[in-house]
Amino acid sequence: MGVRRPLALFVLTAIAAPVALAAPPASAPASAPASAASTAAPASSADAAKAAEAEFTKLEAVATKPGDATAGQAKAAACGACHGMDGNSTDPQYPKLAGQSEQYIVTQLMRFKSGTRVNPIMAGMAAPLSPQDMHDLGAYFSTQKLLPGVADEKLASDGEKLYRDGDASQGIPACMACHGPTGRGNPGWRVPQVGGQHADYVQKQLQAWHDGTSWGSDAHAQIMPSIAQRLTAADITAVSSYVEGLHAAPAPQPATRSGATD
Ligand code: HEC
Ligand code: HEC
């Protein structure tokens, strides 16, 4: 992966995002059953990563109908204990799913199931889900109303600067270029909503990417690791706090500062 890609490439990536960030594949004929996981024991971690990628590609190729939120609600009973019944988790180690796009949720569930994104809890939760289940669950959570969070006043200003402007001197693009001014994300590009997300969860992901984790080897999965590698611990803390407080329709704020959302 390009660890030291020049800023120009980041800017290009952000600007050319409709091309660079591949939209989900059009539903293809279901040639391969999604559950046909590879049973051969991988000889090395490189082989294991390759097997996971192959499994992910297979899952993505399965034909599905658009998600059905009502069917998804019934299937979501198993998720509520951690993510909240309406997708607004209260424990900050579990990401909020409310208002997150169907496509992003589906992609992540396929990553957990295939193993390109490694998390033991979610691997277990995703294992029994078919691609259609994933779409139904995604449709359900995407229609739930996100309950926004609150930023730490002391950190918000540094975080806001990074989010809105990036830091050209460090080769860090503006988060806003992809995640949007209100943190809504971009469903068509599978860029997640980050506005309102728990700061603890955001911080954990940014730190993990900084430390070398990735969620796959495809170009899409390389975007955040290559950005996070350039963030300092202080950057990560500040921007994580800022996004937790970011939302589309701000509650009336104290008159101390303004412009936290748009
Ligand atoms: C026992 C707790 C637990 C349960 C139950 C659970 N999850 Fe999760 N989920 C997690 C944790 C922890 C993470 C964060 C994983 C990480 O750090 O990468 C997560 C992450 C996710 C993500 C990624 C979100 C993002 O913003 O990237 C999705 C999507 C998700 N879960 C969907 C589900 C669905 C759908 C169900 C029910 C079928 C479910 N989860 C059940 C604990 C749980
Ligand atoms: C070029 C586009 C782009 C830019 C710029 C960008 N992101 Fe992302 N971000 C993405 C994509 C795409 C994903 C989904 C990653 C995946 O699926 O592998 C993502 C995922 C995330 C997530 C995970 C959210 C979740 O629910 O798990 C966080 C947190 C995040 N980005 C924060 C940031 C921050 C902070 C910045 C600025 C320092 C930033 N991003 C800049 C495209 C971008």
pLDDT in tens, the chain (262 residues): 333 444 334 444 443 343 345 555 554 444 444 444 444 455 688 898 999 999 999 999 999 999 999 999 999 999 999 999 999 999 999 999 999 999 999 999 999 999 999 999 999 999 999 999 999 999 999 999 999 888 888 888 999 999 999 999 999 999 999 999 999 999 999 999 999 999 999 999 999 999 999 999 899 999 999 999 999 999 999 999 999 999 875 555 555 544 444 4
Q: Which ligand is in closest contact with the Cα of 224?
A: 2
Distance CA 200, CA 198 (A): 5
As given in the structure block, the two tokens for residue 154 are 């002391």
Question: Does ligand 2 have an atom closer than 6 angstroms to the CB of 220?
Answer: yes
Residue 18, judged by CB atoms within 10 A of its CB (0-12, 13-18, 19+), counts as exposed
On whether both 153 and 136 belong to a single domain, the answer is no
Number of domains in the chain: 2
Residue 153's CB: how many other CB atoms inside 10 A?
13
Q: Which helix (H) or strand (E) holds 89?
A: none
Question: Does ligand 2 have an atom closer than 6 angstroms to the CB of 110?
Answer: no
Predicted confidence at residue 229, as pLDDT, reads 97
Predicted confidence at residue 1, as pLDDT, reads 39
The atom number, within ligand 1, closest to the CA of 108 reads 29
Q: What's the CATH code of the domain at 59?
A: 1.10.760.10
Tell me, yes or no, if the pTM score tops 0.95.
no
Last-in-domain residue among 101, 126, 142: 142
| Type of residue found at 116 | T
Question: Does ligand 2 have an atom closer than 6 angstroms to the CB of 97?
Answer: no
Predicted confidence at residue 15, as pLDDT, reads 38
On whether both 57 and 72 belong to a single domain, the answer is yes
Distance CA 8, CA 28 (A): 35
Predicted confidence at residue 147, as pLDDT, reads 94
On whether both 152 and 135 belong to a single domain, the answer is no
The atom number, within ligand 2, closest to the CA of 173 reads 5
Assess contact for 211 and 178: CB atoms under 8 A: no
Residue 65, in any domain of the structure? yes
On whether both 119 and 91 belong to a single domain, the answer is yes
What is the Cα 80 distance to its own chain's centre?
Answer: 19
Ligand 1 center–CA 256 separation, angstroms: 36
Q: Which helix (H) or strand (E) holds 46?
A: helix 45-61
| Type of residue found at 205 | Q
Predicted confidence at residue 212, as pLDDT, reads 95
Predicted confidence at residue 253, as pLDDT, reads 55
Q: Using alpha carbons only, how large is the chain's radius of gyration in Å?
A: 18
Ligand 1 center–CA 183 separation, angstroms: 20
Domain coverage including residue 82:
52-142
Residue 35, in any domain of the structure? no
Residue 43, in any domain of the structure? no
The atom number, within ligand 1, closest to the CA of 205 reads 17
